[in-house]
C-alpha cells in the first residue's frame, strides 16, 4: 500500500504537495474506504485547471521512468528533448522532487528521487524499514553511500554511471524473496494504473488488462449486466469478422460493432469494467481515475464509486466535479480532498468544525466551509 506521496517542482506544483494516506480519523462509518489503516478510496475535488490531472501524472511518475521504460503513462518520452512543461516554470532548483513511502504490514520502503528537465534521475535515496539502503547524487558520485546495498548484495557492482535508475538496478540484480519489502514495492509500482479521458489512453490501458470479454462468456455476461444496470438496454455478442478476428457487437439486427456504435460514456464503462475486473483479480495496486464521471448522470457515478469501493486490495483515487458524490453515505470526510494552488487537504482537515455522519458535506462544500 502507498502510505505517503510528496511532489515538488513538477508542472504546477512549485511548492511541496503531500498526500498522506495514513491521516485518518476515527469515523465509525464507511470503513470500506480504509485498508490496513490507510486511506484506500478517495475523491479529489478542485477547480478547472488547478492541477488534478497533473497530480495524477506526478503520482505515476514512478511508474513511468525508474523502471527503464522511458515512457510516461500517457505518451512516449523523447529522452533527448526537453519537456518545457515537466518542471514548474518558477522552479528555482532545476529539478522535480518525488517521495514515496510504501507500507507492507509493519515494514516500509521510502523512495525519494529527483529528475531534471530531460526527465532523467539525478538523485536517489532508499530507506528500508528506516535503514538506509543507498543514497546517490549523480552530480557528486564520490559521495555514494551504499552500505545497505553491500549488506544484501555484497558482490553487486556499484557502478551506476550508465544506470538509469539505481533503485531498479539494485532490485533487478539482487536475489530477494517475494515477500521482501523491496520486491513488494516493485510489484506495487508495476501494478499501478492511470485512466484519463483527457489524454485518451483509457481504452488502451484497459484492453491490455483484460481481453477476456471476447473469450470468456461469463465475463461477457457480467459486462452486459453491468451495462444494463447503467441504463444501456442492448444485449451483447461476440462475432468473428471475415478476417477471423473476434469483435464485440451489440446484439441487434443487424449487429452493430461496439467500438463504432457505442457512445463515449458507454466506451468508458467498458474501460471501468475492465479495470474493475483486473483489480478484482489483484492485478491493480493503485488506480487513478481522472474525471471518470465526465459522461455520466450523478446516479450512475455514485453506483460506479460504490462498486469500486468493494475492491479492498486496490487503492483508488477519483477526481471529479460532481458534488452529488459528496455524501457520508458514499465516503467519509477524511477521504474527500480539495486541491488548491497551495496544497491538497482532506475535508476533515480543511475545517475547524467536527464533521459527523449526519452532516451534509455537499451543502457545506457549496457554502464555502472548506475554503481557505
pLDDT tens track for 253-278 = 999 999 899 998 898 888 888 888 88
pLDDT of residue 13: 95
**Residue 26 predicted with pLDDT over 80:** yes
pLDDT of residue 195: 84
Mean pLDDT confidence for 196-205: 50
Determine contact, residues 134/148, Cβ cutoff 8 Å: yes
Instruction: Give the distance from CA 168 to its chain's centroid.
Output: 20
**Residue 78 predicted with pLDDT over 60:** no
pLDDT of residue 150: 92
pLDDT of residue 143: 86
Q: Which of 6, 101, 92 is nearest to 55 (CA)?
A: 6
Three cell numbers written together for 152: 544484501
Q: Phi/psi at 290 (nearest 5 deg)?
A: -90, 115
Determine contact, residues 29/328, Cβ cutoff 8 Å: yes
* pLDDT > 90: percent of the chain: 67
According to CATH, the topology of domain 2-191+285-366 is: Rossmann fold (3.40.50)
**Residue 210 predicted with pLDDT over 90:** no
Mean pLDDT confidence for 28-52: 94
pLDDT of residue 329: 95
**Residue 22 predicted with pLDDT over 80:** yes
DSSP assigned state of 71: B
Please list the alpha-helical segments (H only) found in 213-310: 217-229, 258-261, 264-280, 298-308
Determine contact, residues 196/291, Cβ cutoff 8 Å: yes
Mean pLDDT confidence for 218-247: 91
Residue 282: pLDDT band with limits 50, 70, 90: confident
Mean pLDDT confidence for 10-27: 96
Q: Which of 43, 40, 23 is nearest to 31 (CA)?
A: 40
Beta strand extents in the chain (DSSP E only): 2-8, 17-20, 34-35, 38-39, 41-45, 96-104, 107-115, 121-128, 131-137, 192-196, 236-240, 246-250, 256-257, 286-290, 315-319, 336-339, 344-346
Determine contact, residues 197/320, Cβ cutoff 8 Å: no
**Residue 170 predicted with pLDDT over 90:** yes
Residue 207 or residue 170, greater confidence: 170
Residue 70: pLDDT band with limits 50, 70, 90: very low
> Residue 73: CB partners within 8 Å, gap ≥ 6?
57, 60, 63, 64, 194, 201, 205
pLDDT of residue 372: 63
pLDDT of residue 64: 74
For residue 35, the tally of other CB atoms under 10 A from its CB is: 17
Determine contact, residues 28/302, Cβ cutoff 8 Å: no
Model pLDDT for residues 81-115, shown as the tens digit of each residue: 556 789 999 988 999 999 999 999 999 999 999 99
Average of per-residue pLDDT values in the chain: 88
DSSP assigned state of 165: -
Mean pLDDT confidence for 209-225: 82
Residue 275 or residue 315, greater confidence: 315
pLDDT of residue 360: 96
Residue 66: pLDDT band with limits 50, 70, 90: very low
Cα–Cα distances in angstroms (integers) from residue 88 to residues 16, 83, 151, 307, in the given order? 12, 11, 38, 37
Q: Which of 33, 51, 52 is nearest to 42 (CA)?
A: 33
Determine contact, residues 116/108, Cβ cutoff 8 Å: no
- The top-scoring range by mean pLDDT among 112-116, 244-248, 366-370 is 112-116
> Residue 228: CB partners within 8 Å, gap ≥ 6?
none
pLDDT of residue 205: 43
**Residue 76 predicted with pLDDT over 70:** no
* Coil, strand or helix at 107: strand
Q: Cell 506521496 belongs to which residue?
A: 5
- The strands making up 107-115's β-sheet, listed across from edge to edge, are 17-20, 2-8, 96-104, 107-115, 121-128, 131-137
Range list for CATH 3.40.50.300 in the chain: 2-191+285-366
Tell me the C-alpha distance between 336 and 317, whole Å: 10
Tell me the C-alpha distance between 167 and 212, whole Å: 34
Residue 197: pLDDT band with limits 50, 70, 90: low
Determine contact, residues 169/163, Cβ cutoff 8 Å: yes
**Residue 203 predicted with pLDDT over 70:** no
Helices (H) and strands (E) in the chain, counts: 11, 17
Instruction: Give the distance from CA 53 to its chain's centroid.
Output: 11
Burial class of residue 94, CB neighbours in 10 A (0-12, 13-18, 19+):
exposed
Mean pLDDT confidence for 236-246: 89
Amino acid at each position: 500500500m502507498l502510505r505517503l506521496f510528496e511532489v515538488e517542482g513538477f508542472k504546477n506544483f512549485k511548492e511541496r504537495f503531500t498526500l498522506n494516506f495514513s491521516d485518518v480519523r476515527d469515523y465509525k462509518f464507511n470503513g470500506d474506504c480504509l485498508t490496513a489503516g490507510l486511506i484506500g478510496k478517495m475523491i479529489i475535488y478542485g477547480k478547472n485547471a488547478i492541477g488534478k490531472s497533473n497530480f495524477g501524472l506526478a503520482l505515476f511518475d514512478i511508474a513511468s521512468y525508474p523502471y527503464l521504460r522511458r515512457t510516461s503513462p500517457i505518451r512516449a518520452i523523447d529522452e533527448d528533448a526537453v519537456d518545457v512543461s515537466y518542471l514548474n516554470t518558477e522552479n528555482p532548483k532545476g529539478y522535480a522532487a518525488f517521495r514515496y513511502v510504501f507500507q507492507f504490514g509493519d515494514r516500509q520502503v521510502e523512495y525519494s528521487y529527483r529528475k531534471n528537465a530531460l526527465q532523467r534521475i539525478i538523485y536517489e535515496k532508499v530507506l528500508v524499514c528506516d535503514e538506509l539502503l543507498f543514497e546517490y547524487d549523480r552530480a557528486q558520485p564520490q559521495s555514494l553511500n551504499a552500505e545497505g546495498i553491500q549488506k544484501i548484495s555484497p558482490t553487486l557492482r556499484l557502478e551506476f554511471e550508465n544506470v538509469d535508475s539505481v533503485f531498479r538496478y539494485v532490485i533487478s540484480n539482487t536475489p530477494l524473496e517475494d515477500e521482501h519489502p523491496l520486491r513488494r514495492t516493485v510489484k506495487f509500482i508495476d501494478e499501478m494504473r492511470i485512466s484519463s479521458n483527457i489524454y485518451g489512453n483509457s481504452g488502451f490501458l484497459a484492453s491490455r488488462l483484460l481481453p477476456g470479454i471476447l473469450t470468456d462468456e461469463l465475463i461477457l455476461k457480467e459486462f452486459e449486466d453491468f451495462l444494463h444496470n447503467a441504463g444501456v438496454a442492448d444485449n451483447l455478442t461476440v462475432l468473428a469478422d471475415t478476417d477471423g478476428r473476434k469483435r464485440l457487437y451489440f446484439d441487434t439486427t443487424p449487429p452493430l460493432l461496439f467500438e463504432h456504435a457505442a457512445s463515449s460514456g458507454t466506451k468508458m464503462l467498458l474501460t471501468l469494467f475492465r479495470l474493475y475486473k483486473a483489480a478484482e483479480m489483484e492485478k491493480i495496486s493503485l488506480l487513478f481515475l481522472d474525471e471518470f464521471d465526465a459522461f455520466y448522470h450523478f446516479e450512475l457515478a455514485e453506483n460506479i464509486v460504490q462498486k469500486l469501493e468493494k475492491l479492498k486490495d486496490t487503492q483508488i483515487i477519483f477526481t471529479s466535479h460532481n458534488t452529488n458524490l459528496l455524501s457520508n453515505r458514499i465516503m467519509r470526510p477524511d477521504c474527500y480532498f480539495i486541491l488548491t494552488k497551495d496544497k491538497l487537504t482532506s475535508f476533515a482537515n480543511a475545517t475547524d468544525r467536527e464533521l459527523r455522519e449526519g452532516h451534509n458535506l455537499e451543502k457545506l462544500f457549496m457554502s464555502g466551509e472548506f475554503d481557505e
